[in-house]
Structures are given as structure tokens and as C-alpha cells.
Amino acid sequence: MNLSVKDTAQLLSVSEKTIYRWIKQDIIPSYKVHGSYRFNRAELIEWATSRRRGVSADAFSEPESEIQPLPTLHEALETGGVFYHIEGKTREEVLTDTVAHLRLPEEVDRDYLEKVLLTREQLASTAIGEGIAIPHPRSPGLLNVARSKVTLCFLEEPVDFHALDGRPVEILLVIIAPTLRVHLHLLSRLGFVLRDPGFRQVLNDGESRGKIFSALAKAEAKIKG
């Protein structure tokens, strides 16, 4: 709980008055600490992404970013890969097959990762609506991976992920990041490109890898900063 109302307003590019209204309406995740409202950055990014809300381009500006450049989505997807025909009739079965496809170092315990992803879904669905879910560990860094990965999976058939809009999920974008900072960076960029009509169209059509990467490059190039 490291963000104030002012910080949160800047992060979400809205007024402080709007933040207080959302608190009153119990819309935004918040905590009252010693009489003041505080917010968790990771929860806010997830909340904003699930509601197609933009996040300030300055949200991830940190001094060390110049020393260790943050990956682009294009780079992370190249590392994670694109997979078609992921099987499963339930959320659990889909996650099992998804984990089996992930490009991971041999030392990563896939059974453990599967449990971590399922636990995250049980706490709160990662489905963001319109047939898309973004599974990820609740605590990035647990897997001790060196490279960030975003893995795109097209399901063989739609599966209920308990999305707010009630629509079954057909597409997964799995984030595996070495640190919380990188995780939030990738999650924020995903929230942006998923609002791009061109990129969404190639996803909805289940296009070839080449067309997906081309559309992603165009969408990501529109991100400022």
C-alpha cells in the first residue's frame, strides 16, 4: 500500500475527486491506513487493465531503467511464443495444457507454476472481458526466471474463466516476469495494445504469427515513452 490518492490519480490520469468518488462507490481497490487511503500499485495496474483504462506513461519511470532497459511486448512475445489449439474444457485443464507449452528453463517446476496460476485465478479471475484472460503469478519473481515472457495462447474451445462480462475466454496472454517492476510494465503495455483495433482484430481472427507480430509492432509503436 505505497500510493496515496494523489499518486493514484496521476497513475490513472484522472482527478483526485474521481479517485474519491470511486472509493465511495467501492469501485477501486483501496485500503484505509491511519485515516488515509492507500493503494497497491500492482492491484491498480490489474484493475485498470481489466477495465480498459489507460495508465500514465510515467508510471514505470525509475532511475535504474536506463541501466536495465525494460523489454518491449514484442520482445517478450518473441521469447514466450504463440501457441494454437490449447486444449481443456475447464479453467484448470486449460492452465495445465498452457503451462505444458510455456518456454521455461528446465529448473522451473511446472507443477508448482500451474498451482500458482490456479491460485491466482481462485483469488480473482484474470479474465479482462471480451474473451481474453491474462494469467500470471500473483507474486512475480517466484520462478527465478531471467528473461521476461509473454505467451499468447489460442484455446481450442471457449472456456469459462468467470469474467465480469460473462463471456468465455478464447485467448490467453500469460506473463512471466523476473520482477514486479517488469511485470507491471508488461501488463500496462498489454492494456494499451489490447485497445488497438488492428491488434485486437488479428487476435480475434486467430491470425498467423507473422500477422500477430506485425500488428503488435504497430500498436506498441503508438505508446508514448
Question: What's the CATH number for 5-62?
Answer: 1.10.1660
- Residue 11 is predicted with a pLDDT of 86
Percent of the chain with pLDDT over 90: 57
CATH-assigned architecture of domain 70-220: 3-Layer(aba) Sandwich (3.40)
* pLDDT tens-digit series, residues 34-92: 788 888 777 787 778 767 676 665 555 544 444 468 899 999 999 999 999 999 999 99
The tens digit of pLDDT for each residue in 137-169 reads 877 766 778 889 999 999 999 999 999 899 999
Record the pTM.
Answer: 0.74
Per-domain residue ranges for the chain? 5-62, 70-220
Dihedral angle over CA of 1, 178, 149, 72, nearest 10: 70
Q: How far apart are CA 62 and CA 69, in angstroms?
A: 10
State yes or no: pLDDT of 107 exceeds 60.
Answer: yes
Q: Which amino acid is at 131?
A: G
pLDDT mean over 121-133? 92
Active site residues: 136
